Structure 1
Amino acid sequence: MTEDFGMRVSVLASSSSGNATYIETPQHHILIDAGFSGKKLQALMQSVGRDLKDVDSLFLTHEHTDHSKGVGVLTRRYPDITLYANQLTLEALPQSIGKLPADQVQVIEPGQTMSLGDLDIEAFAVSHDAAQAQFYQVHHDDKAFAIVTDTGYVSDHVAGTIRDADAYVMECNHDVEMLRMGPYPWPLKQRILSDTGHLSNEDGANAIMDVIGTRTKRIYLGHLSPHNNIKALAHITVANMLKEQGLPVGRDFDIYDTDPAIADPMFTV
């Protein structure tokens, strides 16, 4: 009998330039997104003592290249990897991904749950300017880990779906004033600030306050923009907003930063 060590997670990297998260249980090794080259993904995996050849499933959130860049090379190089995504996302993948092996692709639509042995992966739609962006909550035994980035807002439905998870990756893409004063052209700024854009630090904090529960122990701040945010600013903004509402930051749960190029240490959910 395989010893159940729980569900282990590493946010391999998270920013506007690339995203990937690794999750393992005794029976499965999965990635959520592969927004890097195969070489970079392998280096990130090895930095936490793991190897891409052991990955059996890749769940894609949407077609934007900071989430999908490595999808083609991974599925072609590793025939044991099954790619899961919704149909509109698969149809919208950029040509640079190349041809996907048809027998390694399975469709999972928003609202569906994929059961893989000791894992249940729950897909939910978010509001983003992609063909059909969806993110995932991963369940193992009585533990839940949820990722929510690349959304202009967190709907009541999404909040209800992911409420009281044990750990989160929550988007804190930008500081609003940094974005407004920054180098981006105005149409791009409008897109980011829109309901189909990205969560600001304040938006992320408000979403956390809406979903956090007594089970929650870890919150990772993800998908930071290198041009419109600073890691320390996102952290202090979220921490202060939560503390102002009397939430026990640093006691019942902790806030962690993510990095665009360095994997977070593996943790057990």
Structure 2
Amino acid sequence: MGLRFTVLSSGSTGNATVVTDGEVTLMIDAGFSARRIDELLLERGLTGENLTGILVTHEHSDHIKGLGPVARKYNLPIYANEKTWQAMEKSIGNIAEENRCLLGTGESRDFGSMRVESFGISHDAAEPVGYSFSDGREKLSVCTDLGYASDKVKQAIADSDVLVLEANHDIEMLRMGRYPWNIKRRILGDMGHLSNEASGEVLSELLNGRMKRAYLAHLSQEHNMLDLAKMSVRSAMEDRGCFYRDSEFRLCDTYADRPTPWDKVGER
């Protein structure tokens, strides 16, 4: 069957993504109420009972808001590194001991035929991570909430067939926006969020013929727009000599209010 995924929703109001190989179905983050997560799953023909477990990237509320309720409702294991567990302990409530699972930064774990690899990223959280998923033939990587992409991050996602990558803000929109300067400085810093331009720079280094699609994720509702993000990312790639045809590589949208269509990772 190969790997399939859908970004259930992505943005500052909440984040959740589902990856499946037909036997194992994992959700990355649960940044909405349990009721909203059920609604989003249903839009893609799923229920919480289809889930095998939940992977956590970090403890910010737009990634764990519904984590405890969903895990308890469907008796799901939660996977996170030790510092993230400590940081989110009070926010998620009581979790059965057998569902408290450690997956250390830089470690990998097999879920049936699907291998999950965790890699560290730069963000103002206890120990934030991204995840890669592989069935031995195809690879999907999910990498959002990072102030910059280090060489280790680029190495972790370099051979992906499909990449979910943050394009959080337009720098000028953010600078001119209504946020106080300390918040702007946080977003623009190395522990904040990737701008459209930074996302394009990363993609220009990674586009190697294997990568088919990149989904631009975690767009700011205040300081970005779908069309602007794609235009700016593509422009930043072209500024670095990286030109492509849409038949070879595509930039794809994610949404704050609805899921993306199911994507078969191995298909053009």
Q: TM-score, normalised by structure 1?
A: 0.95
Contact 1:13–1:262 at 8 Å: present in 2 too?
yes
Matched with 1:165 is: 160
User: Is the deviation greater in 235-244 or in 193-202?
Assistant: 235-244
Q: Residue 160 of structure 2 aligns to which amino acid in structure 1?
A: A
Matched with 1:252 is: 248
Contact 1:138–1:144 at 8 Å: present in 2 too?
yes
Deviation string 1:90-116 (CA, Å, 9 cap, x unpaired) is 110163421122211111111100111
SS in 2 for 1:158: helix
Q: Residue 108 of structure 2 aligns to which amino acid in structure 1?
A: T
Once the two structures are TM-superposed, the CA of residue 130 in structure 1 deviates from its matched residue by: 0.2
Q: Does 1:54 align with 2:62?
A: no
% identity of equivalent residues: 38
Q: Does 1:265 align with 2:261?
A: yes
Spell out the pairing of 1:1-269 with structure 2 (5 A cutoff): 5-79=1-75, 81-93=76-88, 95-244=90-239, 245-269=241-265
Q: Residue 175 of structure 1 aligns to which amino acid in structure 2?
A: D
SS in 1 for 2:54: strand
2-structure distance, mates of 1:207, 1:50 = 33
Once the two structures are TM-superposed, the CA of residue 246 in structure 1 deviates from its matched residue by: 3.7
Q: CA RMSD in A?
A: 1.1
Displacement over 6 Å in runs of 4+: none
2-structure distance, mates of 1:263, 1:243 = 29
Contact 2:204–2:242 at 8 Å: present in 1 too?
no
2-structure distance, mates of 1:194, 1:163 = 23
1-structure distance, mates of 2:205, 2:25 = 30
SS in 2 for 1:135: strand
Alignment gaps of 5+ in structure 2? none
SS in 2 for 1:263: coil
Deviation string 1:22-70 (CA, Å, 9 cap, x unpaired) is 1111220110111011111111111111111110111000000111111
Q: Residue 60 of structure 1 aligns to which amino acid in structure 2?
A: V
Once the two structures are TM-superposed, the CA of residue 218 in structure 1 deviates from its matched residue by: 1.1
SS in 2 for 1:137: strand
Aligned length, in residue pairs:
264
1-structure distance, mates of 2:161, 2:171 = 29
Contact 2:200–2:235 at 8 Å: present in 1 too?
no
Alignment gaps of 5+ in structure 1? none
Q: Residue 15 of structure 2 aligns to which amino acid in structure 1?
A: N
Once the two structures are TM-superposed, the CA of residue 242 in structure 1 deviates from its matched residue by: 2.6
2-structure distance, mates of 1:27, 1:122 = 18
2-structure distance, mates of 1:164, 1:107 = 26
